[in-house]
Amino acid sequence: MREFGLMLGALPPVARKALAGALILLDQGARLYPPARGRRFARLDDEVAEAYVRALLARHDAAAEMTQRLKGVVTMCYYDLPEVQREIGYDPGPYIAAVSRRRLQAYGPQIRAGEAAVTAGEAAVTAGPSDPGPGQS
Amino acid sequence: MTVLTGLTGQAEITGDLNLECEAVVVGSGAGGATVAAELAGAGVDVIVLEEGGYHPTESFTAETGRALRTLYRDGGGGMAIGRPSVLYAEGRCVGGSTVVNGGMSWRTPARVLDRWAEHEGITAIREQDLDPYFTQIETRLSVGRQDPETIGRDSELFKAGADAKGWNIVPNQRNQLHCAGTNSCTSGCPTGAKRSMLVTSVPRALWLGARLFADCRVDRVTRSGSAVTGVTGHVARPGGRTGPKVTVRAGTVIVAGGAIQTPALLMRSGLRSVSGQLGRNLSVHPNAMVTAFFDEDVTGWHGVHQAFQIREFIDEGLLLTAVNLPPTMLAGILPAYGRELGALMAGYNRIVTAGPLVTDTGTGRIRNVPGLGPQVFYQLADADAARMVRGVELTAEVLFAAGARRVLLPFDGAPEVRSVAELRRLLARPVPKRSMQLYSIHLMGTARMSDDPRRGVVGSFGEFHGVSGLIVADASLFPGPIGMNPMETVIALAMRNAHRLIERRDRNRN
C-alpha cells in the first residue's frame, strides 16, 4: 500500500483523483457482477475476482481502459517490492556493484579523462568512446 | 552528493525570484542543456529553468518506482487519448529525458534530412550541414559501441535470431563512457557512464558561467509587442505545492520542454502560429512489446539495456529492438492478470522482451484543457496499425528463430503463441486497433520547422515566426518522425540554433 500511495502521489491531481475513484468503482462495482453474489471486489476469491476483471477488460470501453490503468499501477507497485523481486530472481544491487567495480578496474584512466573533459576546452574533449565503430549509417 | 556550482534547488529559494539575463532557457534536457552550454561558451549570460529536481548520479539505484516518481513527469504515466490510447513517458529532472532514455545516439538519416530540405522549406539541414555538429556531439558524449563484456544474453539471443533469419542487425551507437551494463538506463545511470545531459552539457554550461534553477516551472513567456521579454513561473515545492514566484527578464527565450510541454507553454502564453500547426503534427513512434519465454536462463538484466537494432525493415518504417525491462515495468505492461500474471513473472529470468518501433504517418495534437493542463490526443492511422501488426509478427519470428518456446503478443485477448505457423494463422485475422497496447518515448513535431510561416511554426533555426527573440530547441522542431532514436538529432539542431543565435549577436555587436 505504501508504494501505491507513493505512486499515486507522483500523478497529477486529476489523474490521482480519477484512479482513486476508479479503485472505489472497481471494488464496489463487483456487487453488480452476478458471480460475485453481492460481494465487493476485496471480498472475492481469486477465481471470481479474475473473472470479474476479465469481464471488465473485455468491454473495450472507458471502464476497461481504467481497469487496465489500475492493473498497471497496482502490479507495478507490487513488483517494485524488493522481496517480491528477489522471489522471481531479480536482485540487481550486487550485480550493479560488481560490474561497476569491473568498469573502473578495466577502464579507470579513460573514464577519468572522459569525465574531466566535460569541463575543459574544446581541444581537450578527446576522450573517445569504448569503440567508435565504423561510423553511423 | 555532487554539488554543482551555479545550480539552485527549491530548498534554497525562500522568496520570489527576480532575475535578469541575456538568454533564458526553459528545460535542461537534450535541447536546453545543449543550447545553454553553447551560449555560455560564447560568453552569453544564461539562466536555465528546469521544472524537475536535481538528482545526482550517486542517488540513482535500480529502484524503478523511485525513478518513476522522481525523474519522470507524472510518474511516467502519460497517456495520449485515442483508440488505442498510447502510454508515453517524459523525463522531468535536471538533464531531462536524457537521464532516463536508453542512451541510443544515432545521426538523423540522410534521407530524412533530404526530405526536410526538399519538401519542408528548411535551409542548411542537409547531411553535410549537420555533420560537423554530429561529429562534435559524438566526441563530447563519447558515442560508440558497447564494450563486448557488457552485452547481455537477451541481446545475444536477439542477434542470433536475426542472424538465423539473415536480417540486417547493427550494434547500437550509444552515448556512453565504458558503460558497465547495469541495465539501469531508465532509472538513471548509477555509474554516470551514460553521458546524459546531467553529466555532460549541464555541468559544462554551469562551468562556463550559466545559472540553473531546478524545481522552477515556467508558466508563461512574456512579451512586449512582438518581442519576448522573458518568462514567469513559480517554484515547485514537494508534493506539488506552489512556491514563490519566478520572473526572469531576458531578450532571448529558448523553449526546450519537449514536444508536449513546449507547445503547451507557448499556447498558454497566448502565442499563435499562422500555420495553425502549433501543438499539432505530433508523431510518437508508437512501439509495442513482444514477450518471449526461453527454456534457458537469460537474466536479461545482466547487460546493457539495448545492444542491437534490426534495420532490415527500416524502409517499411520498422525498427526492431530487444529491450530488457525491470520487473516493475514488465508487470505493468504484460497482457495478463492475477494468477496468470504471477505465473508469467515467476519466469522473469527466462524472458526476452523486444518490439517494433513504427515510423508513424498519422499525427496527434496537444491541447491545454482548463483544469487538466496539456492533454495529448493521438489516433493511430490504419496504415500504422497494419505496420504495427507486421512489426509484432517480425519481432515474434526473430524471437522464435532465437529459440523462444512461446510468445505473448501486445494485443489484448490474443492467445499465447507457440510457433511461427500459429503466429501467422493468428495475425492473418484482423487485429483491432483498440486491442493494441502501445507505448511511446519519442514525441516530436508540435512546433515544426519551415521557413514558410504558412507551413511551419518556427523557421529553419527554431525562431518562432512573428515573435522576435523566441527560439524552440527540442524535438518539437521536427517536421515529421525520423524513424530513429531522436536524441542526437535534437542535440544537433539545438547546437545549430545556438550557433545561429551567437552569430547574430556577434553581428549586432560589430
β-pair partners for B223: B228
Inside any domain, residue B161: yes
- Provide the pairing of β-strand B174-175 with B143-144: antiparallel
Contact B332 A72 (CB under 8 A): yes
Q: How far apart are CA B444 and CA B495, in angstroms?
A: 18
Pick the residue from chain B with its C-alpha nearest to A100. B180
Q: Element (H or E) spanning A115, and its range? A: helix A92-117
- B304: domain CATH number is 3.30.410
State the pLDDT at residue A123.
Answer: 46
All three cell numbers of B496, joined, read 545549430
CB B139 within 8 A of CB A113: no
Which residues of chain B lie closer than 8 angstroms to A73, CB-CB?
Answer: 77, 332
Please write the tens of the pLDDT for every residue from B221-275.
999 999 999 999 999 999 888 999 999 999 999 999 999 999 999 999 999 999 9
- Hey, is B354 helix, strand or coil? strand
Contact A13 B193 (CB under 8 A): no
Q: What is the mean pLDDT of chain A?
A: 84
All three cell numbers of B112, joined, read 530524412
Q: Which of A7, A53, A95 sits opposite B302 (nearest CB)?
A: A95
Q: Are residues B69 and B211 in the same domain?
A: yes
Q: Distance, in angstroms, between B229 CA and closest chain A CA? A: 30
All three cell numbers of B416, joined, read 499465447
Cα of B407 vs its chain's centroid, Å = 28
- Hey, is B489 helix, strand or coil? helix
All three cell numbers of B130, joined, read 549537420
Inside any domain, residue B281: no
Q: Are residues B303 and B258 in the same domain?
A: no
- B195: domain CATH number is 3.50.50.60
Q: Are residues B354 and B478 in the same domain?
A: no
CB B425 within 8 A of CB B448: no
Q: Are residues B59 and B161 in the same domain?
A: no
Q: Which of B234, B442, B465, B499 is catalytic?
A: B442
Q: Distance, in angstroms, between A128 CA and closest chain B CA? A: 5
Q: Are residues B314 and B411 in the same domain?
A: yes
- Provide the pairing of β-strand B290-293 with B211-213: unpaired
Phi and psi at residue B380, to the nearest 5° = -70, 125
Cell numbers 518456446 label which residue? Answer: B405
**Interface A:B, Cβ pairs < 8 A:** 186
Query: How large a percentage of chain B has pLDDT more than 90?
Result: 91
CB B299 within 8 A of CB B153: yes
| A93 has a chain B CB within 8 A of its CB | yes
DSSP string for B411-430: BTTPPPB-SHHHHHHHHTS-
Q: Which domain holds residue B316?
A: 148-176+287-359+381-435
Does residue A50 or residue A65 have the better pLDDT?
A50
Q: Is the pLDDT of residue A12 over 90?
A: no
Q: Are residues B102 and B226 in the same domain?
A: yes
| B114 has a chain A CB within 8 A of its CB | no
State the pLDDT at residue A127.
Answer: 42
- Hey, is B152 helix, strand or coil? coil
CB A16 within 8 A of CB B239: no
Residue B226, burial from CB neighbour count under 10 angstroms (0-12, 13-18, 19+): exposed
Which residues of chain B lie closer than 8 angstroms to A129, CB-CB?
Answer: 138, 142-145, 176-177
Rounded (5°) CA angle B477-B96-B281: 25
Contact B345 A79 (CB under 8 A): yes
Phi and psi at residue B242, to the nearest 5° = -90, 125
B55 given a catalytic annotation: no
Q: Distance, in angstroms, between B304 CA and closest chain A CA? A: 11
Q: Are residues B474 and B397 in the same domain?
A: no
Inside any domain, residue B82: no
State the pLDDT at residue A22.
Answer: 86
Inside any domain, residue B279: no
Inside any domain, residue B376: no
Q: Which of A106, A117, A136 sits opposite B173 (nearest CB)?
A: A136
Q: Are residues B346 and B216 in the same domain?
A: no
Interacting residues of A114 by C-beta distance below 8 A, sequence separation 6+: A127, B142, B177, B195
Inside any domain, residue B164: yes
State the pLDDT at residue B92.
Answer: 97
Number of domains in chain B: 2
Inside any domain, residue B370: no
The domains of chain A are located at 2-87, 92-124
Q: Is the pLDDT of residue A137 over 60?
A: no
Inside any domain, residue B85: no
Interacting residues of B505 by C-beta distance below 8 A, sequence separation 6+: B42, B44
Q: How far apart are CA B109 and CA B276, in angstroms?
A: 28
Please write the tens of the pLDDT for every residue from B123-176.
999 999 999 999 999 999 999 999 999 999 999 999 999 999 999 999 999 999
Find the DSSP H helices in B191-337. 201-207, 258-268, 327-333
Q: How far apart are CA B224 and CA B319, in angstroms?
A: 46
